[in-house]
Amino acid sequence: MFNKVLVVAVALVVTFCGISAAAADKVLTMSTTTSTQASGLLDVLLPEFKSDTGIEIKVIAKGTGAAIRDGMDGNVDIIFVHAKAREEKFVAEGYGTKRYAVMHNDFIVIGPNDDPAAVSKTADVYAGLKSIAAAKAEFISRGDDSGTHTKEQFLWEKSGVKVVTNKREIVKKGEKVAVGFNEPADSADWYKSIGQGMGKTLTYADEKGAYTMTDRGTYIKYKYGKTPPIELSILSEGSEALANPYGIIPVNPKKFDHVKYDLAETFAKWLTSGRGQKLIGDYRLLDKQLFYPDAIPQ
């Protein structure tokens, strides 16, 4: 008898503890990238949005491709990613109503302090990459088909360095897929594609004293927020090519009539309003600015 009572009591306690959020009526489901979530910006924005509008946002963070896919499948009401070409395609194909330009952060090229390829002396990132290729200095690539990796490949192509497409096998969602990566030609002894996330890539590059391309946010964390910090320094920054623009796109109610279009619009407009933009511009990661508002530049 006692056992039965115990079980019921435990059940009630557990149920009570576990009843989470969704008591709120107004819940907006948003997909975004893991790096956006990892930056901590949403932890600041979302509570402000909730207190302003009473709307709660359910954030599903995945890789860029998967986040966009969730929009295309109608699993979310709004997407917030940083892959401009794909976003525009998303709208063009009718999955999204409009791309709101929200903000940008940037990528940087980092490397060892002694800078054997003299990247810091180059005028822009393209020249910097050319130097690395010419010097055959060790360069670590994420090689995981992520947004950052896509950007990196794009930069190599545009830099003028000869690029070939190599077939690589990576693991995506637990399954092995063969993807074609654009990599510098004849680079087997200096270009290393490790198929890992940003953090691991930085750690690896740090240990090897190699060059790599990273987003500023992760770099800041690993340089100023970790013990022991990584030793690599910023050697190339500020080129327009290195900008990483973010867009927010409500999913098209014409395609999926169940999506909470009103709530999505509200958020998109709030994010691009003076209030939202100021919050974005004021956000600091370890005292460093990470995001630069685009809708109302400051």
Partner 1 sequence: MDLLVDSLKSALLLLLSFDPELYEIVGVSLNVSFFSTLFAALFGLPAGFFIAFNSFRGKRLVMTCLNTLLALPTVVIGLVVYSLISRRGIFGPLELLYTQKAIIIGQIILIVPLITTLTIAAISRIDQRYRNTALTLGATYYQMGWVVFLEARFGIMAALIAAFGRVIAEVGISMMLGGNAKGFTRTMTTAMALEYDKGEFVLAVALGMVLMTFAFVINMVFHFLQGRLKSDAL
Residues lying near partner 1 in the complex (CB under 8 A) are found at 11, 14-15, 17-22, 29, 34, 37-38, 56, 58-62, 73-76, 173-174, 197, 199, 218, 221-222, 225-227, 256, 258
Least distance from partner 1 to the Cβ atom of residue 39, Å: 9
Which residue, 167 or 173, has its beta carbon nearer to partner 1?
Answer: 173
Q: If phi over 0 gives left and psi between -120 and 50 gives alpha, with beta otherwise, what is residue 253?
A: alpha
Residue 231 CB, nearest distance to partner 1 (Å)? 16
Which CB sits closer to partner 1, 190 or 261?
A: 261
Least CB distance to partner 1 at residue 122 (A): 29
Smallest separation (angstroms) from partner 1 to the CB of 266:
19
**Distance of alpha carbon 250 from alpha carbon 243, whole angstroms:** 23
> What whole-number distance in Å separates Cα of residue 222 and Cα of residue 216?
10
Of 46 and 108, which CB lies nearer to partner 1 in the complex structure?
46
Instruction: Report the residue number, 74 or 116, with the smaller CB distance to partner 1.
Output: 74
DSSP 241: G
**CA separation for the pair 115, 96 (Å, rounded):** 44
- Residues 185, 162: contact at Cβ < 8 Å? yes
Contact 39, 290 (CB under 8 A): yes
DSSP three-state, residue 42: helix
Helix axes 198-208, 216-224, angle to 10 degrees: 60
- In the complex, the smallest distance separating the C-beta of residue 59 from partner 1, rounded to whole angstroms, is 5
What is the rounded radius of gyration, in angstroms, for the C-alpha atoms of the chain?
22
Give the start-end residues of each E strand in the chain. 27-33, 56-62, 78-81, 100-111, 139-141, 163-172, 175-184, 191-193, 211-215, 233-236, 243-250, 284-285, 288-289, 292-293
Residue 133: is it exposed, middle or buried by C-beta count within 10 angstroms (0-12/13-18/19+)? buried
Closer residue to partner 1 (CB): 62 or 168: 62
Q: What is the nearest approach in angstroms of partner 1 to the Cβ of residue 233?
A: 19
Other CB atoms within a 10 A radius of the CB of residue 51 amount to 8
Among candidates 147, 95, 157, which has minimal Cα distance to 126?
A: 157
Q: 74 or 245, CB closer to partner 1? A: 74
The nearer residue to partner 1, 36 or 187, going by C-beta atoms, is 36
Q: Least distance from C-beta 3 to partner 1, angstroms?
A: 9
Q: Which is nearer to partner 1, 89 or 172 (CB)?
A: 172
Least Å distance, CB 54 to partner 1, is 15
